[in-house]
């Protein structure tokens, strides 16, 4: 994992450029570049061998100006306060771009979940939630799954919070199992949003998604759903890589068979329906669209000049460094930034929160139709801002987000 202090500085660098173009009030500038609240907790847990381990947990509420903080909880040995703060800031801008009434938050626990039993993970989750219970809630801060957490962990979060407040509170967390108030369409939401962003970017550039050649880095939930939906829309997925290898076919990979292969082997490597492919080769493919859907800092100043795609869709968080983004922009590559391209997930998380609070649940076609509308509007809000200010889509997305959060900050005024 990249050193997240540098990622936070990169975020501030992008923020500053957009803030200057907006002539943002200096006072509002200061407010929006500082997290509202950073919480550090110690979580003692009795392990299966009887020994006590103390884990460090974080929860950062970067902004609650537009509504409750929103953001995932990750379990990873490399979690730091800087990382969580940077991710909470990104969630602030992502929710503002998506035009949903949430602020930005993020949580994390320093641990290695691959070396912990189910009982230990449950005990850790419950203790972590107990330590931050006063800071979260349906109208305060709404967590969700992130790296190494899932719907089961969210069920434990919901149950622990509910035990503390004395009643069942499904709206305290999103990404839950359907049986506990989760939303249909949530698993596919980020990938579906990526598909919509890709389609609209192609349309803007006068291209049709049907027949377009696409390369995707990453075949986890987001990458695999994106590939499946784009293929169903008529696109030709010519290359896919993951952490172990990749597959290439000039006429397009058979995505249903690749999904079966990945399910059986936990990797796309060795897929018999394509030639082996490395990440370096994938990035250099002459394709219409490149979709980095894996980790941050994948397209850098070192390899940006080798990118031959006409469009880059950031399905992952921070896959293109600021320096690389400038190179791509100068070369005429149309980059759709992460805070727009992968906002489908948080949008349907918002839908889940709404349904929980309303006590009435929509069918999947309704969820998908509402997501389509929100993603379409968000894309074109950013596109029109890009054309108005004559800037790239990333700067435009920050302009949209900062304008919305800054305007509400000014309207609400200073509490003293």
Active site residues: 106
Distance, CA of 47 to CA of 117 (rounded, Å): 9
Distance, CA of 313 to CA of 319 (rounded, Å): 10
Distance, CA of 344 to CA of 403 (rounded, Å): 21
- Under DSSP, the state recorded for 382 is H
Size of the chain in residues: 416
Which helix H or strand E contains 290, and what residues bound it?
A: strand 289-292
Beta bridge partners of 413: none
Q: Which residues of 346-379 are buried (b: 16+ CB within 10 A; e: fewer)?
A: bbbbbbbbbbbeeeebbeeeebbebbeebbeebb
Which helix H or strand E contains 66, and what residues bound it?
A: none
Q: At residue 216, what are phi and psi to the nearest 5 degrees?
A: -130, 125
Q: At residue 207, what are phi and psi to the nearest 5 degrees?
A: -110, 155
- Under DSSP, the state recorded for 138 is T
**163: its two tokens:** 């035990």
Classify residue 75 as left (phi > 0), alpha (psi -120 to 50) or beta: beta
Nearest-CA neighbor of 217 among 288, 290, 114, 109?
290
Instruction: Return the number of other C-beta atoms located less than 10 Å from residue 263's C-beta.
Output: 9
**323: its two tokens:** 């320096």
9 three-state secondary structure: helix
Sign of CA dihedral 46, 52, 53, 59: positive
């Amino acid at each position: 994992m990249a050193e997240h202090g540098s990622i936070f500085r990169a975020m501030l660098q992008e923020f500053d450029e957009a803030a200057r173009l907006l002539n943002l009030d200096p006072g509002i500038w200061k407010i929006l570049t500082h997290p509202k609240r950073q919480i550090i907790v110690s979580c003692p847990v009795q392990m299966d061998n009887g020994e006590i381990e103390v884990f460090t947990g974080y929860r950062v509420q970067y902004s609650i100006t537009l509504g409750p903080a929103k953001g995932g909880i990750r379990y990873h040995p490399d979690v730091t306060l800087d990382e969580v703060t940077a991710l909470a800031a990104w969630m602030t801008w992502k929710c503002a771009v998506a035009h949903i009434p949430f602020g930005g938050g993020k949580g994390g626990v320093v641990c290695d979940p691959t070396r912990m039993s189910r009982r230990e993970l449950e005990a850790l989750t419950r203790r972590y939630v107990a330590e931050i219970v006063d800071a979260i809630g349906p109208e305060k801060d709404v967590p969700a799954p992130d790296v190494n957490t899932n719907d089961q962990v969210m069920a434990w979060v919901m149950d622990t919070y509910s035990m503390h407040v004395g009643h069942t509170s499904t709206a305290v967390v999103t990404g839950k199992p359907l049986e506990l108030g989760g939303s249909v369409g949530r698993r596919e939401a980020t990938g579906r949003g990526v598909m919509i962003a890709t389609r609209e970017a192609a349309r803007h550039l006068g291209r049709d998604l049907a027949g377009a050649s696409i390369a995707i880095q990453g075949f986890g939930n987001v990458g695999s759903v994106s590939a499946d939906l784009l293929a169903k829309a008529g696109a030709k997925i010519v290359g896919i890589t993951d952490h172990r290898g990749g597959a290439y076919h000039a006429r397009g990979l058979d995505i249903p068979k690749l999904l079966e292969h990945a399910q059986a082997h936990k990797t796309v490597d060795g897929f018999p329906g394509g030639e082996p492919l490395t990440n370096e080769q994938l990035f250099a493919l002459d394709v219409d669209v490149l979709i980095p859907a894996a980790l941050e800092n994948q397209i850098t100043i070192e390899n940006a000049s080798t990118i031959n795609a006409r469009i880059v869709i950031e399905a992952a968080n921070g896959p293109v460094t600021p320096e690389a983004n400038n190179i791509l922009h100068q070369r005429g590559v149309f980059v759709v930034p992460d805070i727009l391209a992968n906002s489908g997930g948080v949008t349907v998380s918002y839908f889940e929160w709404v349904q929980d609070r309303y006590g009435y649940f929509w069918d999947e076609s309704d969820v998908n139709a509402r997501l389509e509308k929100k993603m379409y509007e968000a894309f074109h809000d950013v596109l029109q801002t890009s054309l108005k200010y004559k800037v790239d889509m990333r700067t435009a997305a920050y302009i949209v987000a900062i304008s919305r959060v800054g305007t509400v900050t000014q309207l609400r005024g200073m509490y003293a």
